[in-house]
Amino acid sequence: MSVYSVIDWPASLNILSGNETLARDLLGLLLNELQGMKPQITALVETKQLNTLGDLIHKLRGGSAYCGVPQLQQSCLALETAIKAKQSWEIIVPLSSTVIKDIDAVILEAPKYLSASV
């Protein structure tokens, strides 16, 4: 079990100076991006396009920085670090799977924050 939350709403609000509207907007934008990124990540891993995968994960990590998704942030950081260090595919593939698992978790959890007052 991860020590990180799927969505840390108080952290997101803290980063955004308490602006709930902005927090919801950014989380909604991230949610839209995540749904398209999953197949991209899978395809890049399957075709072993390490540089492009690194660029995509970097974009994902940056795009999620204000959204209060620490578990996804951590898994992206781990994968990005492994890619930069030119780790073997035996390390990259499981880290990629963790990122996809964390994307799935955010996709499942985010609607709760988008539709209700938290």
Q: How many CB atoms lie within 10 A of CB 110?
A: 20
Confidence of residue 20 (pLDDT cuts 50, 70, 90): very high
Q: Considering the entire predicted model, what is its pTM? A: 0.91
pLDDT of residue 3: 52
Domain ranges of the chain: 9-115
pLDDT tens profile 67-106: 999 999 999 999 999 999 999 999 999 999 999 999 999 9
Instruction: Place domain 9-115 in its CATH homologous superfamily.
Output: HPT domain (1.20.120.160)
d(CA 103, CA 83): 19
pLDDT of residue 5: 74
Q: Structure tokens of 103?
A: 């994307």
